């Protein structure tokens, strides 16, 4: 990604919500118009964001840490690491927060479609892009360094130490306040290149910190994660853990609350559905199919919303939920659920037996 793209993406809001119709209006619609409407509705569904209370709480925590960092004396700052299982929805939350941070930092310049510029020195024009987002494609130091430099349009040839040293210019020339590095699970123990990337990240944190800026890391915490096991970083690291939704009785309210929020967004487009469809009637079925992973849940909801329109039922049925195509992970875990349930039951009985 380049700084200019970041500016465009941050400003992009997605398709407008389509019109809302009653069942009789939809059934009376000429075929061609109905087909166009279903397409428009589907395009909106692919973009729609669903509210997630735990995700919003995580965003608030990131915001506090980064804003406090900016208020502190120059020097290396606290580093945020957001972790969760794959497809639990962490990048989406950090992206939403980083977009807001970008908008707030730019102020009115955010509304201009051309990326803002300023003059760091007389006669020099530079892009004024306070946020840089890097998807760590690998744990390779050259790739990481060149990703940061090419984001800002700098040449990327030369020796690695020279490339690393150019980071200070980037911060000063572009008033960089936030570097987000996603997929840091790529950095694993025992890998020399990954070690160099981590050292570079620590250097970046110091340079950024001298200008009031911060580093945010995103990625699953694994046993061999370098970021989560480095003692020097540990002293500054604030880990924000996001969870998938769980099915145990004490966690059900959270799942239902999420589905209730999703329903507020989706129900106007299901005119034959009764309120409570998602959080009450379908909650267990949806959990069984997705195991409470945000990625699969959103995927399923988009599919069943489309099926409900295509077959003219305009409500979601259990058969729709059963027919959704999901990730390999979800399929595998769903097929293992009966085994897990039996094992849990046996364990409970064993405990009762032991207590007697």
Ligand X SMILES: Nc1ncnc2c1ncn2[C@@H]1O[C@H](COP(=O)(O)OP(=O)(O)O)[C@@H](O)[C@H]1O
Minimum distance from residue 185 beta carbon to ligand X (Å) = 10
Dihedrals φ, ψ of 217, to 5°? -110, 145
Cα separation, 257 vs 299, whole angstroms: 18
Dihedrals φ, ψ of 248, to 5°? -65, 150
Q: Is 245 in the site for ligand X (CB under 6 A)?
A: no
Residue pair 106/130 in contact (Cβ under 8 Å)? The answer is yes
Residue nearest to Mg ion (CB): 91
Among 86, 100, 119, 344, binds ligand X (CB under 6 A): 86
Question: Which of 262, 263, 324, 269 has the alpha carbon at shortest distance from 294?
Answer: 262
Q: Which is nearer to ligand X, 214 or 297 (CB)?
A: 297
Q: Is 98 in the site for ligand X (CB under 6 A)?
A: no
DSSP state of 282: I
Among 59, 83, 91, 205, binds Mg ion (CB under 5 A): 91
Determine how β-strand 214-218 pairs with β-strand 178-182: parallel
Q: Near ligand X by CB under 6 A, which window of 21-29, 44-52, 154-162, 284-292?
A: 44-52
Q: Binding string to ligand X for residues 294 to 313, with x set by CB under 6 A, is what?
A: xx--x---------------
Residue pair 201/181 in contact (Cβ under 8 Å)? The answer is yes
Residue 174, exposed/middle/buried by CB under 10 A (0-12, 13-18, 19+)?
Answer: buried
Kindly identify the residues of this chain, within the stretch 7-26, that bind ligand X according to CB under 6 A: none
Minimum distance from residue 82 beta carbon to Mg ion (Å) = 9
Q: Is 49 in the site for ligand X (CB under 6 A)?
A: yes
Q: Which is nearer to ligand X, 95 or 142 (CB)?
A: 95
Residues that bind ligand X in the complex, under the rule CB under 6 A: 49-50, 52, 84, 86-92, 294-295, 298
Residues that bind Mg ion in the complex, under the rule CB under 5 A: 91
């Amino acid at each position: 990604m380049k700084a200019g793209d970041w500016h465009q993406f941050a400003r992009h809001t997605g398709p407008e919500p389509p019109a809302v119709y009653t069942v009789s209006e939809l059934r009376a619609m000429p075929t061609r118009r109905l087909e166009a409407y279903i397409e428009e509705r589907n395009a909106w569904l692919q973009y729609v964001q669903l509210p997630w209370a735990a995700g919003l709480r995580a965003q608030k925590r990131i915001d506090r840490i980064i804003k406090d960092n900016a208020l502190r004396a120059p020097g290396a700052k606290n580093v945020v690491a957001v972790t969760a299982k794959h497809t639990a929805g962490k990048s989406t939350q950090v992206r939403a927060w980083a977009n807001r941070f970008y908008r707030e930092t730019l102020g009115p310049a955010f509304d201009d479609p051309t990326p803002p510029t300023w003059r760091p020195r007389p006669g020099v024009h530079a892009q004024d892009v306070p946020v840089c987002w890097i998807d760590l494609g690998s744990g390779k130091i050259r790739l990481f360094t060149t990703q940061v430099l090419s984001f800002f349009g700098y040449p990327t040839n030369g020796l690695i130490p020279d490339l690393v040293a150019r980071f200070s210019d980037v911060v000063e020339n572009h008033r960089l306040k936030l570097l987000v590095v996603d997929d840091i699970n790529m950095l694993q123990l025992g890998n020399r290149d990954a070690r160099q990337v981590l050292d570079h990240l620590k250097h970046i944190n110091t340079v950024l910190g001298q200008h009031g800026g911060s580093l945010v890391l995103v990625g699953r915490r694994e046993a061999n994660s370098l970021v989560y096991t480095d003692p020097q970083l540990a002293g500054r690291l604030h880990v924000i853990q996001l969870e998938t939704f769980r099915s145990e009785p004490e966690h059900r309210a959270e799942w239902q609350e999420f589905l209730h929020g999703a329903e507020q967004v989706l129900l106007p487009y299901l005119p034959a559905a009764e309120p409570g469809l998602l959080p009450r009637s379908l909650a267990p079925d949806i959990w069984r199919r997705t195991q409470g992973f945000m990625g699969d849940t959103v995927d399923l909801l988009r599919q069943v919303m489309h099926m409900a329109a295509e077959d003219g039922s305009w409500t979601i049925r259990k058969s729709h939920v059963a027919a959704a195509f999901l990730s390999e992970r979800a399929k595998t875990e769903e097929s293992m659920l009966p085994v897990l349930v039996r094992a849990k039951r046996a364990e409970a009985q064993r405990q009762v037996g032991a207590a007697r």
